[in-house]
Structure 1
């Protein structure tokens, strides 16, 4: 085809016409090619008298293979074929999308999650997911706002790479804990506005209790195992005696330094979920006891139990 690459048949004709004494311009006219195409073809493969069609075809094929960029294979995970990796990314993204994460954002997240430690560029994500750059940009922005993805410079280049670092889960946990606490606080404000005896107030009360407990339980995980053990020991001591104890009495009975008993009580006060379903109560100066947690029973349930 005029303007395309020379075929093996074209080269046979060139060889025959050169042997017949035709010039480059005439050969080009007959093939529908520029004269320069014919002159370069002959120059690459010897003088006009030495031009061989088969040799020229082999040389052209060798040049084409050198010019053709090697296809970059997508990295596999743990030696699995690319198809298996793609299937996993799709299934995992579907699970995340079912939790409320936008479908495209979920695909980008799982793609980054299964990438090497160096992360991926926007172009990498476009190529792997076969989506538009705009879709990738929007999804990355969404993930950055959630602090699930961080940007890092690509060494030696002007572009950036997107990475899921080792602290992402801790940040996500802390973000959720803070959000749950804020929801509980907002619910309490709503109760004050609508009133605890209204339908809205009752709904907000249940909602606030749920998120308050969830926040407490999630925050409690930041305590050390020793702190939790000491807090539970103090709980056992107060439940065992069945009466209020002073800090000094408690420390002496447990055989602890005063500051250790203080730390255990502080842990319970700051993380009430440790003692759930009981609540620490202060009955006097440095005097403590436990009572049933008020939000575990409704007013009707408490009244019924007292009868």
Structure 2
């Protein structure tokens, strides 16, 4: 067995683990490409070729991964293709206020609270959701600081 084959088998196993953890299939496989790539950046076309997937499904996966802060688009002077890479701080970004999913959850809770009446059980659940995300955002800076100290 060659090293390249073993590398991509490991990538597919990681993708399966991510899928089992709730990530959409194409986003999981695309993330595995970023994690296992020997290049600094990749294009959507390169990902599609590697995964033997459609451009549309790869585009959706890239958008999903960028939304949660795992990947970023790079400037690519002289190239007509968009280049992407895994962010250096990808994992900690997942848990910061930069994460648009956390912000969207907070906004959804606020909208839900505003749309429900005092004493309504739905409002109580939404208030708990809001309180959890507020608490999470309040605790994350200290947690991330400890992470950055350890990661040095």
Q: 1:184·1:212 contact (CA, 8 Å) conserved in 2?
A: no
Tell me by how many angstroms 1:187 deviates. Answer: 5.0
Give the alignment's TM-score, normalised by structure 1.
0.39
2:113 equivalent in structure 1: 190
Segments of structure 1 that go 5 or more residues without pairing to the other structure are 1-79, 225-307
Q: 1:93·1:107 contact (CA, 8 Å) conserved in 2?
A: yes
Summarize deviations over 1:75-109 as a string: whole Å, max 9, x none: xxxxx722322222122112222343221111011
2:149 equivalent in structure 1: none
Root-mean-square deviation over aligned CA pairs? 3.4
Q: 1:96·1:106 contact (CA, 8 Å) conserved in 2?
A: yes
1:179 equivalent in structure 2: 102
Give the alignment's TM-score, normalised by structure 2.
0.69
Q: 1:159 to 1:223 in 2, by over 3 A?
A: closer
2:69 equivalent in structure 1: 147
Equivalent of 1:219, from 122, 141, 144? Answer: 141
Aligned length: 144
Structure number with the bigger relative contact order (C-alpha 8 A, sep ≥ 6) is: 2
Q: Where in structure 2 are the equivalents of 1:1-307 lying within 5 Å? A: 81-154=3-76, 157-174=79-96, 175-176=98-99, 179=102, 183=106, 186=109, 190=113, 193-195=116-118, 197-221=119-143
Tell me by how many angstroms 1:188 deviates. Answer: 9.2
Segments of structure 2 that go 5 or more residues without pairing to the other structure are 147-152
Equivalent position SS for 2:34: helix
Q: 1:184 to 1:117 in 2, by over 3 A?
A: same
User: Which of the two has higher C-alpha Rg?
Assistant: 1
Equivalent position SS for 2:95: helix
Q: 2:47·2:58 contact (CA, 8 Å) conserved in 1?
A: yes
Summarize deviations over 1:181-213 as a string: whole Å, max 9, x none: 962893597179421x33223323433333332
